[in-house]
Every structure is written in C-alpha cells, then in structure tokens.
Structure 1
Amino acid sequence: MPRSSSKDHVDPSFQSDLSVLIKIDLLKAMDSDISIISPVVVVCEMSLIFTDAGILGINRNLCREKMETIKQKLEDVDALNNRTFLQTYFSTDNKTSFVDETLKFLIKSLHNILAAGNFKGQTAYDLSVGSIIHQLFALCEYYPEITILKLNEALITEVTKWMNSDTDAFNWGHACNFLKELVGTGDQERKLKSSIKKIMTFGLPIDTLTDPVVLQPADCLVTAWLLDVTCQNQNEYIKKFQKLAKLLKPGGLLIYIGCLNATYYTIGQERQCVFTYDESFLRKNLTNEGFKIETCEVLDSKIQSDLTDYKQFIVLTAVKKAA
C-alpha cells in the first residue's frame, strides 16, 4: 500500500463536509471519584476529515474507495474497528501475539522509569489510540488523578465498560497480572479505576483540543500511537504535537509511546497507512518544541507478521522546559 506523502492534495469533492459534531457523552458515574462531564456539542473543523476522522487511522486512500463510510458517524466507524484492534494487538488469544512488545515491554519500561523516583505529580492526561488503558497501570501510583481523552463516544463507551466491570468489556487482566509480577503486591485494576477521574472527548483538528471544555495543563501527558495513526506527513505531525504539548505544564513529564519505521497496520481485512518516522525525527521534534529527553528505550521487533511492519517499539520520556 503506498505511503502518504506531503504532496498529497485534497480533491474539492472530498471537502464538502468540513464540520463534524461530536457530542461529549454523559458518563455513568461508577462512584463519587468520577466526574460527569456536562453534555455539550463540540464543532470540530476538519479540513481533512478522512485524516482525522478516526483514532484508528482512517487514511486518504481508504476513504477515496469508501466515501459512504466516511459519511457515517465517527463513533459508528470506530465501534466496528476498535474491538478488533484490541483483540489483534493487545490480546493473548491470537496465533501471532504482539503483547510481549505492545504490552509487556511498555508496562515494564514505564514501571522501571517511574519506580526510579525521579518523576511524580498529581494530574495526568492520556491521549492514546483506540480504547487502550494498559499504559496507565504503572502510571496511577505516581499520578493519582488521571483524565482520559478519546476522539469519540464509541471509545469512551469501551473504556466505561471496563470501568464498570461489564461482562462484555475487553479483559485487561493479563496487563494487571504482569504489573503485579513486577511490583509484587497490590490490586492494580482497582488502583487504576480509582485514579481515573474523567473520561471525555477531544478533537485534534481544533486549536484548544477540548473546546469548549477548558483543561488546565497537567503534570504528566501520556500519548501512545495517537500521532502515528492520525498523521500523514511531518508538518501535520508537528502541528498536532504542538497542540498536545499545550496540555502539559512547564516541568511536566511527557511519556511518548510509538512504533518506529512503520508504514501500515491491519484491522480485520483493512490495511491502514501510518505516518513513518524514526528515532532521529522524534528526538529532533521534541528538542525543537522545547523538551529535554530524559529516558529512551527502544526494542527491536522480533514479530514476523503481515498485520503490521513496524521495525522498533519506543518508550520515551521528556520534560517540558519552562518558556
């Protein structure tokens, strides 16, 4: 499948719908620790609706072929894809298991980084692909007030099912058990659930991300694979990263999780293009945006699969410098 290029242009016929209404759902309060976001309607101006439409990376070529799918509600598109995405890349039930890299390496890296005692705060925001939450199990011990931001209601619904221990929720027990092996004791699932204070939608194409809801910059910002699957070129990546960085306080900790030198991943029968970048590009962008890199762990992928072609897995931390 051809990679996206910065020379790609948008046909005028694909720009008729430049606004998408995303409703912030009223979350069921599991207990008094979870805030209920007031229902509002956010207007997201999407000049490239097919670039930013889905957190699972709906790309230009796919949308050309399936224009009718693009016209569906965004949450309907992701509802079809998200569970397949979780089962494919984060479950232990598949013939090709990615969990040693996508789950165990990630959790172990974050545990080791945070257990060193150099980073600690109160608030954290998570903006990550799909409805994954395993990147937060190690975090909640050090940042006990977590806000999860997702691109649409379907992803919020999936996370809420897990929060409420619904029988049809995706099972993250293997992630809890792996962290428990590292720390020795504790109910990791209970800790994370009690640390998640808000779950809300956001939109990368708008300037304030969560407009009209105003979020104060946090002590920690976690992002896993989000920019990988929602960007087509370097300029788009840089602009979106700048928006994410506004959610982090000066002196705050960025936890960046991604795949290096990837060109695609697969959900069901659909192959999706991703933005291809290497460690050098990532480091340069962070430096240019005023971050000091603290730790960087890179794992060479040992997985042989037609489902995706990433070469390395990266977990990087950086501190945002004062302006």
Structure 2
Amino acid sequence: MDSTTHKFYHVHGMDSRSYLDLYFSNNEDMVFAEDTLKFPMSMIHYQLCTGRTEGTFLIDISLGSIIHHLYFVSKFFKKIVLLKFQEKCIMELNRWLHDRTGAYDWSHTSSAAAELEGMRDQLQEQEMRLRSSIKQILKCDYEQENVTSPVLLPLADCVIGASILEMISKNEDEYMKNLEKTIKLLKPGGQLLLFAVLDATYWFVGAERFHCFKCNEEFVKNAFGKLGLVIDYYTVKRRCNVSDLADYKAILFIVGRKGE
C-alpha cells in the first residue's frame, strides 16, 4: 500500500484507548511488552541513574497518551510538560492525571517501575509522584513557529520523544524539520532522549492503518549530527515479537546534547 493511503496520526487522529490496549496493556495477548514497556522504562532509568541527564524542566512529546516511561523522570525533574498533537490524547491523559472514573489502568507499569527501583512496597508512590510532577498537558502543532502557541514555554533541560517523529514526517525533509523544531525546545547544553522505530512503514490501531516514515539507525544518527546534537549514547533493540500490527524491525534509543 502506498504511503499516501495511510492515515497520519497528527492529522487524522486515532482511538487513543485502542492504541494503549494494543501496544501497552497488561492483556495476555499483548505481544509488545518487551519493546514498548520494558525497553523504554529501563533505558530512561539507566540514563537518569548515570547522572548524565539532569535539570528541573522536561518536555515529553510522545505518541498517544503514554506515561509509563516518565516514572523515573518525575524523580529527577520537578516540572514536566506533555505535548500532544490530538485532543483525544489530552482527554485520555487528563482522566489519568486527575484519577477520574474510566482512567486507563497503568498499575502494571507502576509495579514494574517500583521493581526497577527496588521499591516494590511503594507502588502508589510511583503514580502519585508522576502526577504531581506533570504541570501542563498542551496541544502542539509543528506547523507553527511556536509549536505550543499561544503558550510560550521556557527552554527545557531535557526533551523526550517516543516514537513520534517517524509518525508525523512524510519524508526525510519533514523529518529534519520536525527534529529541528524539537531541538529548539531545548536550552543550550540540554539533552534530547529519543526513541525511534526503525525500518517501519505502517502501524495499525483497529482497522486504521497509519503512516510511518521508514528510517534506519544511520539516518537518525546523521540527522542528530547535521542539526548540531552531540551523541552521548545510543543502543538498538531488535524486535522480539511477531505481529502484523506494525512492521518495524528494531527500536533505537539515542541521546543527543545540544551545543552550548
């Protein structure tokens, strides 16, 4: 199928609850746990525990309404702002943030986070700490000069992007423009922590097939260099599940530091 027949996440939107159930749930038939749950959580935990990433203000720009990769962030950053392209994702996040009826159950990930920290008896503390650290959930638009217009955010010490640039970029030029927009959110010396799905062309939510810009490890690393990011760390996790829901081959975690 040609990419023009795929839907674009940031343009057409998606069923945010179905996305969570398919790729991030605790359901027995959810095959992506190693890639979408354990890998991002362990990488963020590792990066923060090394002391190489620090500050007070962090911006997260991730696909859908996920929060599980931010448990450890809330231990180190006092202020977290989430940027979302879709109102449905903002609504989903607000239900969880304010502990409303019908909020998505992330207890399986708070339990995993507590175990990684060696604090199995403090499961509720994981979510409470994260909720208190999230100060704003804003809609963003990468077509605008100020992507959070009319809100003007201060520059961040750190930006996390999880599986987002490939989903909103049609081609190499758009990817570079979107990466540049992301980097502009960082203060000099700040870090971008990016998770990228590699060699993917599509992903499904229900019967809807969404576009994914096909990129590889070298392309992402070269893009960082062209835009002035010094790579501090990177690692690639090869796909370990079998599913027709998405055709990615691996996940890249890469950390780049903006020049002073």
Normalising to structure 1: TM-score of the pair? 0.76
- Aligned counterparts of 2:136 and 2:30: Cα–Cα separation in 1: 34
- Residue 96 (structure 1) shift: 3.8
- Aligned counterparts of 2:151 and 2:43: Cα–Cα separation in 1: 33
Residue 64 (structure 2) pairs with residue 125 (structure 1): no
- Aligned counterparts of 1:307 and 1:191: Cα–Cα separation in 2: 33
Equivalent residues of 2:31, 2:243 under 8 A apart = no
Equivalent residues of 1:96, 1:305 under 8 A apart = no
Question: Who is 2:163 aligned against?
Answer: 225
Q: Deviations over 1:198-226 (max 9, x none)?
A: 11111111111012211111101011111
Q: Give the total of aligned pairs.
A: 255
Residue 5 (structure 2) pairs with residue 2 (structure 1): no
Question: Who is 1:162 aligned against?
Answer: 96
Equivalent residues of 1:125, 1:148 under 8 A apart = yes
Match of 1:112 among 37, 42, 46: 46
Question: Who is 2:180 aligned against?
Answer: 242
Gaps of 5+ in 1: 9-49, 59-76
Q: Report matched runs for 1:112-261 at 5 Å.
A: 112-185=46-119, 186=122, 187-261=125-199
- Aligned counterparts of 2:175 and 2:25: Cα–Cα separation in 1: 29
- Aligned counterparts of 1:250 and 1:125: Cα–Cα separation in 2: 15
Task: Report the 3-state secondary structure (helix = DSSP H, G, I; strand = E; otherwise coil) of the residue aligned with 1:208.
Answer: coil
- Aligned counterparts of 1:212 and 1:270: Cα–Cα separation in 2: 32
- Aligned counterparts of 1:249 and 1:94: Cα–Cα separation in 2: 42
- Aligned counterparts of 1:230 and 1:190: Cα–Cα separation in 2: 31
Q: Deviations over 1:117-170 (max 9, x none)?
A: 122100001111111111211211111210111113221111010011123111
Q: Deviations over 1:82-122 (max 9, x none)?
A: 11111000012152421111011110111011111122100
Equivalent residues of 2:53, 2:158 under 8 A apart = no
- Aligned counterparts of 1:252 and 1:231: Cα–Cα separation in 2: 24
Question: Who is 1:300 aligned against?
Answer: 238
- Aligned counterparts of 2:252 and 2:20: Cα–Cα separation in 1: 19
Structure number, greater radius of gyration: 1
- Aligned counterparts of 1:96 and 1:165: Cα–Cα separation in 2: 24
Normalising to structure 2: TM-score of the pair? 0.93
Quick one: percent identity of the two aligned structures? 34
Q: Report matched runs for 1:54-65 at 5 Å.
A: 54-55=9-10, 58=12
Equivalent residues of 2:201, 2:213 under 8 A apart = yes
Q: 2:107 is matched by which residue type in structure 1?
A: G
- Residue 254 (structure 1) shift: 0.7
Question: Who is 2:36 aligned against?
Answer: 102
Q: Report matched runs for 1:255-294 at 5 Å.
A: 255-294=193-232
Q: 1:281 is matched by which residue type in structure 2?
A: F
Equivalent residues of 1:90, 1:98 under 8 A apart = yes
